[in-house]
C-alpha cells in the first residue's frame, strides 16, 4: 500500500508510513549507519552531484544527506503532515533556529508570538539580532489586527499553537493567509498537537516543525527535531540545512520511526489521563483555572475544536491569586510519582513550576502557574500523588 497517496486515516498512516521502500522482507527499514557511499564511476559521481544541486534528495551521494533509515522516517512524516520534504535535526531547538535562520538576512524582520518557547526568544533576541534581523513579539491571540505589525521587511511569521506554558490557541489558517498575502513565510512549532492531530501545511503554513524529543520519541531517550516543508519553502530550508551540515544518526531516526508507530495509541492514553487529572484539579478550591484547549472551558476551545483532532497530555494549572510562590514550590516538592524535570512527551508524568516570559502582553501568571505532563501511569495513582502535593500546598508556613 502506498502510504503517500493513501486515503488511510492518520492513525493508520502511523503504521504504514515509510514502508514503501525495499526492506528485504522485514517489516522495518534497515538501520544503515554510514558516511561514505560508493559510486560506480566518475560519471555517476558527477550525475549525483548535479542531481543534488538541482534539488533532488536522492540518490544519496554522502552520509550527511541521510540514508535509507532517514528516508523512511522522512517519508512517514511527509505522509502525516502532507509535506513536500522533511528533515531530522539534532534537537527541537535546532529545528526552530534553522527554520528561522533559513528565511532571513540582514535588515529583515520576523514576527514571533509572545507565548513562544523560551529558547526561541533567546535565539531571536541574541543570534538573529547580531545578524541584523529584528523581532517583533505579538499577542498570540491576535487575529487580523496582526497586519499592522508587518513591514516591507517582514520575512517570517512564527507560530506556536498552543503556546508554551500558557497554551493560547492561535488562528493558524488566518495568520498563515495574512503572512502569505504579505509575501512572508510562516512556520509553526507543532510539537503539542503532534503530526497526528494537526497538519498545518494543509491550512497554508509553509513549515511545520516538531521537537521529536517529545511524543514522536515518546520515551525520554531521544533528542531530535524535525522540519516538514511545502514546495515553496523547501529550497531555502534545504540550503540552510545542507550549508550547516545538519544531520542526525540513523540510530536516532530508527528510534523516532519506532516511536511514531505507537504514538497514536500512546496519545489516546495521555489525553485520557490528562482529562482525568483536569477533572480532579477543577474540584480544588485553590485552582483558578486549567490551561488546556481541549477542555470545553478553555478560551481556545473553539479554535482547538475547529483545527485539531485530538490533544496530548500537557497542560497548565493556574492557582488563585494570593497563593504565592512558596506554596506552589511546596506542592511541586511534595509529589513523588510526578517527576520534576524539563521536557515532556515521554511515558512518565512530570510537574514543574512555570515561569512564562512576556514582553508585549500582560504576565498574569507570575509565581502561580505550574505545568503538568500526564504520563501513562494509572490516573488513580497520579491523583493520589496530587493529593499529597495539595496537602503540602495547604499546610501553613
Ligand atoms: C521542548 C520543546 C522544543 C525544543 O525541543 P528540544 O528537543 O528539547 O530542543 C521546542 N518547542 C517546544 C514547544 C518544546 O516544548
Q: Average pLDDT by consecutive 10-residue portion of the chain (397 residues)?
A: 61 94 92 96 94 89 94 97 97 98 98 98 98 98 97 98 98 98 98 98 98 98 98 97 97 98 98 98 97 98 98 98 92 98 97 96 91 98 98 88
pLDDT of residue 364: 87
State whether the beta carbon of 91 lies less than 6 angstroms from ligand 1. Answer: yes
DSSP 189: E
What ligand 1 atom has the least distance to the C-alpha of 213?
7
CA-CA distances (angstroms) from residue 305 to 11, 66, 299, 301?
A: 18, 37, 11, 6
Q: What three-state secondary structure class fits 58?
A: coil
Own/partner pairs for 281-285, CB < 8 Å, 24+ apart? 281/317, 281/386, 284/390, 285/320
- Ligand 1, closest atom to CA 224? 7
**Sequence-separated (6 or more) residues with CB below 8 Å from residue 266:** 215, 218, 347, 376
With a 6 Å cutoff on the Cβ, whether 225 touches ligand 1 is yes
Q: Would you say 33 and 70 are in contact if contact means Cβ atoms under 8 Å apart?
A: no
For the whole model, what pTM was predicted? Answer: 0.96
Distance 209 CA to ligand 1 centre (A): 10
- Residue 1, pLDDT score: 39
Q: Is the peptide bond before 197 cis (omega within 30 degrees of 0)?
A: no
Any atom of ligand 1 within 6 Å of the Cβ of 211: yes
**What ligand 1 atom has the least distance to the C-alpha of 211?**
5
Residue closest via CA to ligand 1's atom 6 equals: 92
Amino acid at each position: 500500500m502506498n502510504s503517500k497517496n493513501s486515503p488511510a486515516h492518520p492513525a493508520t498512516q502511523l503504521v504504514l508510513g515509510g514502508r514503501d521502500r525495499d526492506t528485504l522482507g522485514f517489516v522495518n527499514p534497515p538501520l544503515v549507519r554510514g558516511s561514505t557511499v560508493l559510486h560506480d564511476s566518475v560519471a555517476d559521481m558527477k550525475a549525483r552531484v548535479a542531481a543534488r544541486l538541482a534539488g533532488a534528495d536522492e540518490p544519496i551521494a554522502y552520509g550527511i544527506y541521510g540514508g535509507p533509515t532517514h528516508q523512511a522516517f522522512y517519508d512517514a512524516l511527509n505522509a502525516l503532515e502532507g509535506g513536500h520534504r522533511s528533515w531530522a535535526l539534532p534537537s527541537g531547538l535546532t529545528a526552530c533556529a534553522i527554520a528561522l535562520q533559513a528565511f532571513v538576512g540582514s535588515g529583515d524582520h520576523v514576527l514571533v508570538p509572545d507565548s513562544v518557547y523560551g529558547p526561541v526568544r533567546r535565539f531571536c533576541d541574541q543570534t538573529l539580532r547580531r545578524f541584523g534581523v529584528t523581532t517583533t513579539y505579538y499577542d498570540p491571540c491576535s487575529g487580523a489586527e496582526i497586519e499592522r505589525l508587518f513591514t516591507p521587511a517582514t520575512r517570517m511569521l512564527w507560530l506556536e499553537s498552543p503556546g508554551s506554558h500558557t497554551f493560547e490557541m492561535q488562528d493558524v489558517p488566518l495568520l498563515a493567509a495574512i503572512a502569505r498575502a504579505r509575501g512572508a513565510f510562516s512556520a509553526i512549532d507543532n510539537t503539542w498537537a503532534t503530526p497526528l492531530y494537526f497538519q498545518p501545511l494543509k491550512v497554508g503554513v509553509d513549515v511545520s516543525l516538531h521537537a521529536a524529543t517529545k511524543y514522536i520519541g515518546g520515551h525520554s531517550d531521544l533528542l531530535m527535531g524535525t522540519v516538514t516543508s511545502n514546495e515553496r519553502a523547501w529550497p531555502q530550508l534545504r540550503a540552510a540545512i545542507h550549508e550547516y551540515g545538519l544531520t542526525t544518526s540513523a540510530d536516532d531516526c530508527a528510534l523516532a520511526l519506532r516511536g511514531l508507530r505507537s504514538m497514536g495509541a500512546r496519545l489516546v492514553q495521555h489525553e485520557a489521563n490528562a482529562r482525568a487529572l483536569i477533572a480532579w484539579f477543577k474540584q480544588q478550591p485553590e485552582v483558578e483555572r486549567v490551561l488546556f484547549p481541549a477542555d470545553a472551558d478553555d478560551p481556545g476551545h473553539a479554535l482547538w475544536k475547529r483545527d485539531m483532532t485530538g490533544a496530548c497530555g500537557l497542560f497548565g494549572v493556574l492557582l488563585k491569586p494570593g497563593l504565592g510562590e512558596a506554596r506552589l514550590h511546596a506542592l511541586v516538592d511534595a509529589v513523588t510519582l510526578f517527576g520534576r524535570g524539563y521536557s515532556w512527551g515521554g511515558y512518565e508524568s512530570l510537574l514543574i513550576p512555570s515561569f512564562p516570559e512576556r514582553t508585549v502582553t500582560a504576565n498574569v501568571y507570575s509565581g502561580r502557574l505550574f505545568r503538568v505532563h500526564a504520563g501513562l501511569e494509572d490516573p488513580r495513582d497520579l491523583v493520589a500523588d496530587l493529593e499529597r502535593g495539595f496537602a503540602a500546598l495547604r499546610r501553613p508556613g
